[in-house]
Amino acid sequence: MGQEIADSHFQAADFDAFRQRLRRETLLLKQWFEDGFFSVGEHFIGFELEAWLVDEQAHPAPINQSVLERLNDPLVVPELARFNLEFNGTPQRLTGAALSRLAEELERTWKRCNQLAGESNARLAMIGILPTVAESDLNPGNMSSMLRYLALDEQLNLLRGGSPVQIDISGRDRLHFSHKDVMLESATTSFQIHLKVDPDQAGRFYNAAKLVSAAMVAVSANSPYLFGAELWEETRIPLFEQAVPVIGGERAKRVTLGTRYIEEIFDCFATNLECYPVLLPQLMDGSEEQLPHLRLHNGTIWRWNRPLIGFDRQGRPHIRIEHRVVPAGPTVADAIANAAFFVGLVHTLANQSPVPEKRLPYPLARENFYQAARHGLEADIHWLDGRRGGLRELIQQECLGLAKTGLDNLGIDPQESQHWLGIIAERVSSGQNGASWQRAWVRRHGLDMAGLTESYLERQETLRPVHEWTV
């Protein structure tokens, strides 16, 4: 959501002109695919980590601007809410000790930012949904001062005809309420994994990312509470999906796992043009060769797995798959372990023959995702070749091995793979991810969201992965 724009109010002519440019850029992108114009060869990994700022009472602290000004680091930028920040990692070529390099950089940036937050009596929290966040925190007065966010709020409001957003989530409890603005999205912080892939394989990697979304959301779940209600293991999923209106049917859902596998990655951009109303018709100067309007439009469609177009230092375009199902936290170690598991698993499945997407019908892959978001590691899912069983056992008996094979084939050092996948293995063996730890804490100590958050932060600051935490 981070690309800034120059205006927040638009006229009908702006939408018409934007759509014309979007169509031209989409046709240009199609030509690039046909001509083999893309950067190829090496896989790279990067990430975006969304974090909370919390005050001394463990409630959201809307002070990101002052922290950012003092930090002055291009790797840390504003997010939708004044109590959120976004951390970025320098992309690493997937070989050797790439994962440890990501972890070391993030640890340094996090530590420095946390120290500066401390000067304002605040702390950083790496968690999907902050247990103490209240609906009253999610108000326009706490929106970051970027025109992009004001415009998104205005356009989403117009799309739903001025009606409030209706949220209805049934888990262990049921939570139903209405909300008037885009700020609900700020409650759903994530760890977004970026994987650069070759264009001729991008469709396979995209389908593989959909296949593994169930395992990823289950192993990383860290958002069981919203406004004191105990809901899904990863409540971010239904909250984000319901927070953005659906105009034009299932194919036009802006937060979605999608409706099918794809044949090639360009299908996503063709769908963007055909099915999604423009939200931010900001007309931009500069070269059409940078696809500015296509990229801005794509950034307002929040697929759980989203293809991105970027450019290398030589100006050649490349394709990235952005995996968005993983919540923030609980620690840097947990986050990088999640990235290792995703990259290895996807790499193996994308190169398998016969192709896995022919061995698991898409409706079952989609059902798996929502079952895993709801029930976490205890979900039962469908798998390849008509198999069905417990997700926890599937990860232990098959997925971890597939992930190890993928990392080996990429050239990741064996000790790297053992370390990062070992964290996943221990988490799955213990059954303790962030969500299950939070629920266990509440069972022992009661429904005290401030106390839960304080205990969570104390353990987060030890840097020890969540499977080692006590309640």
- Report how far residue 250's alpha carbon sits from residue 335's, in angstroms, rounded to the nearest whole number: 31
Phi (first) and psi of residue 220, to 5 degrees: -105, 0
Instruction: Tell me the DSSP string of 363-375.
Output: HHHHHHHHHHHHH
Contacts of 170 (CB under 8 A, 6+ apart): 231
In eight-state DSSP terms, residue 463 is T
* Cα–Cα dist 359/354, whole Å: 8
Q: Which of the two residues, 153 and 213, has the higher pLDDT score?
A: 213
Three-state SS at 153: helix
Q: How confident is the model at residue 255 (pLDDT cuts 50, 70, 90)?
A: very high
Average pLDDT value for residue range 175-195 = 96
CB 103, CB 25: distance < 8 Å: no
| pLDDT at residue number 246 | 67
- Rounded Cα–Cα distance for residues 285 and 262 (Å): 32
Do the domain assignments include residue 93? no
pLDDT per residue over 55-77, tens digit each? Answer: 999 999 999 999 999 999 999 99
CB contact at 8 A, 81 and 125: no
Both tokens assigned to 120: 């304002």
Q: Is 382 helix (H, G, I), strand (E, B) or coil?
A: strand
Q: How far apart are CA 328 and CA 312, in angstroms?
A: 27
Q: Apex CA 334: angle with CA 84 and CA 99, to 5°? A: 100
Domain hosting 402: range is 12-43+132-431
The dihedral built from the CA positions of residue 197, 198, 202 and 205, taken in this order, carries a sign that is: negative
Measured CA to CA, the distance from residue 90 to residue 238 in angstroms comes to 31
pLDDT digits (tens, 9 = 90+) for 5-38: 555 578 899 999 999 999 999 999 999 999 999 9
Q: How far apart are CA 58 and CA 277, in angstroms?
A: 39
The pLDDT tens digits for 95-152 are 999 999 999 999 999 999 999 999 999 999 999 999 999 999 999 999 988 888 888 8
Contacts 24+ apart (CB under 8 A), 115-123: 116/67, 116/70, 116/71, 117/53, 117/61, 117/63, 117/67, 119/70, 120/61, 120/63, 120/66, 120/67, 121/55, 121/56, 122/53, 122/54, 122/55, 122/56, 122/61, 122/63, 122/67, 123/53, 123/54, 123/457
Give the Å distances, CA to CA, from 204 to 248, 265, 290, 347, 362.
Answer: 27, 8, 25, 9, 14
For residue 470, give the amino acid letter: T
Given a contact cutoff of 8 angstroms between Cβ atoms, the answer to whether 167 and 184 are in contact is yes
Kindly indicate the confidence band of residue 252, based on its pLDDT and cuts at 50, 70 and 90.
Answer: confident
439-468: average pLDDT: 98
Return d(Cα 392, Cα 400) in angstroms, integer. 11
Token pair 């423009």 is found at 278
| Residue 80 falls inside a structural domain | no
Whether residue 49 lies inside any domain: the answer is: no
Structural tokens at position 229: 């209600």
Q: What is the largest CA-CA distance in the chain?
A: 61
pLDDT band, residue 446 (cuts 50/70/90)? very high
Q: How many CA atoms lie within 13 A of 176 on its CB side?
A: 3
Strand (E) or helix (H) holding 284: none
Q: How confident is the model at residue 464 (pLDDT cuts 50, 70, 90)?
A: very high
* Alpha helices per DSSP H over 351-433: 362-375, 391-394, 400-410, 414-430
pLDDT at 6 (0 to 100): 56
Gyration radius of the chain over CA positions: 21
Q: Is 297 helix (H, G, I), strand (E, B) or coil?
A: helix
Instruction: Return the pLDDT at 248.
Output: 65
Q: How far is CA 180 from the centre of its chain?
A: 23
Closest CA to 298 of 267, 280, 272, 331: 272
Q: Residue 223 is part of a domain; what is its CATH number?
A: 3.30.590
190, β-bridge pairs: 327
pLDDT tens for 219-230 read 999 999 999 999
Question: pTM above 0.75?
Answer: yes
For the chain, the average pLDDT equals 95
Residue 87 belongs to a domain: no
For residues 381 and 386, give the distance between their C-alpha atoms in angstroms, rounded to a whole number. 10
Average pLDDT of the segment spanning 145-171 = 89
- Summarize pLDDT for 366-392 with one digit per residue, the tens: 999 999 999 999 999 999 999 999 999
Give the mean model confidence (pLDDT) for residues 440-452.
98
Q: Which residue in 203, 212, 470 sits closest to 339, CA to CA?
A: 212
Amino acid residing at 143: M
Q: How confident is the model at residue 1 (pLDDT cuts 50, 70, 90)?
A: very low
Per the structure, how many domains does the chain have?
A: 1
Our CA angle for 172, 178, 180, nearest 5°, is 140
- What residues are paired with 166 via a beta bridge? 178
Residue 152 falls inside a structural domain: yes
Beta strand pairing status for 305-311 and 229-230?
Answer: unpaired
Decide if 107 is inside a domain.
no
Burial (CB count within 10 angstroms: exposed 0-12, middle 13-18, buried 19+), residue 161: exposed
d(CA 78, CA 386): 45
Residue-wise pLDDT tens digits, 299-323: 999 999 999 999 988 889 999 999 9
Angle at 438 between CA 437 and CA 442, to 5 degrees: 115
Q: Tokens 């053992």 correspond to what residue?
A: 418
